[in-house]
């Protein structure tokens, strides 16, 4: 500081930065995107609140598609290997990432996951599924380098959720209503959920399914197969 008046003098420098704090995450996400291209894979980022049925749907998807496509899975959780064990039991490569408390995956963590997948077997994939940490708010803010963001909402959670947690539903290219086998037990309105989601995100595709009864799973498998074969336009 300047001794005579305390103004800071020439030593103080004000820099106008105007840069997003998320820039670094975006930069790493772009790296992930390049890496996925090199691996030849399409990546889906599955996001929902805890227990909406992400792992159950993945188990079913892998069982149906693993003979047709090379599938790798990145599991994000706050703690434990439990979801990775469930996926491993399906016989496909899986990397468990634990965030150590954080409620979302970041591009840098997923980057580690991609290196992990590359190191298993031949390291070549058609499809990479990223199961995000169960949370309806935070994951939406972080670009992971995925091709498709998928928002899942289960019937027991209630059909007002797209309005209450708009960030995720605004970002998603696909919205899946899960556990539709439970519709008769809850006051969930499919119309309301879909109307609210479209109000926030007019272009969003919507599927309804139950990973338990199998209802609607066929359309999802078709969607995934379309991605794997590059038939579906991927939103940048």
Partner 1 sequence: MHELFLVQALLVQLKELCEEHGRSKVSMVTVSIGKESCVVPDSFAFLFDAVKAEEECATGALLRIEEGEGRDLILLRVELEEADRSV
Ligand X SMILES: Nc1nc2c(ncn2[C@@H]2O[C@H](COP(=O)(O)OP(=O)(O)OP(=O)(O)O)[C@@H](O)[C@H]2O)c(=O)[nH]1
Half-sphere exposure of 139 (CA within 13 A, CB side): 32
Instruction: Pick one of ligand X, Mg ion, partner 1, none as the site partner of residue 118 (Cβ within 5 to 8 A by kind).
Output: none
Residue for token pair 């539903």: 169
Binders in 132-161 for partner 1, by CB under 8 A: 137-138, 140-142
Site for Mg ion in 189-228 (CB under 5 A): none
| Interface residue with partner 1, options 163, 167, 206, 225 (CB under 8 A) | 167
Q: With b meaning 16 or more CB within 10 Å and e meaning fewer, what string describes 80-107? A: eeebbebbeebebbbbbbbbeeeebbbb
> From the list 172, 211, 227, 228, which residue makes contact with ligand X (rule: CB under 6 A)?
211
Q: Does 225 bind partner 1 (CB under 8 A)?
A: no
Question: In the chain, what's the furthest Cα-to-Cα distance?
Answer: 79
Nearest approach, Cβ of 173 to partner 1 (angstroms)?
Answer: 17
Chain residues that interact with ligand X, rule: CB under 6 A: 48, 50-56, 83, 134, 178-179, 181-182, 210-212
Chain residues that interact with Mg ion, rule: CB under 5 A: 54-55, 83
Chain residues that interact with partner 1, rule: CB under 8 A: 1, 8, 11-25, 101-104, 106, 137-138, 140-142, 167
């Amino acid at each position: 500081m300047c001794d005579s008046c305390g103004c800071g003098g020439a030593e103080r420098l004000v820099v106008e930065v105007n840069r997003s704090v998320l820039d670094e995450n975006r930069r790493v996400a772009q790296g992930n995107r390049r890496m996925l291209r090199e691996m030849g894979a399409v990546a889906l980022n599955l996001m929902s609140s805890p227990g909406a049925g992400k792992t159950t749907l993945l188990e079913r998807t892998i069982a149906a598609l693993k003979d047709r496509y090379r599938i790798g899975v990145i599991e994000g959780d706050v703690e434990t290997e439990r979801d990775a064990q469930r996926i491993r039991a399906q016989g496909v490569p899986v990397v468990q990432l634990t965030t150590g408390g954080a409620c979302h995956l970041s591009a840098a963590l997923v980057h580690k996951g991609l290196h992990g997948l590359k190191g298993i077997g031949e390291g070549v994939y058609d499809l990479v599924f990223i199961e995000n940490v169960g949370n309806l708010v935070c994951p939406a803010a972080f670009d992971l380098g995925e091709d498709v963001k998928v928002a899942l909402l289960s019937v027991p959670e209630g059909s007002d959720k797209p309005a209450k947690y708009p960030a995720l539903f605004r970002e998603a290219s696909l919205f899946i209503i899960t556990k539709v086998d439970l519709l008769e037990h809850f006051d969930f309105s499919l119309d309301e959920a879909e109307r609210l989601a479209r109000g926030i995100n007019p272009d969003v595709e919507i599927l309804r399914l139950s990973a338990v009864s199998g209802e609607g799973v066929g359309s999802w498998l078709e969607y995934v197969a379309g991605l794997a074969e590059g038939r579906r336009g991927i939103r940048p």
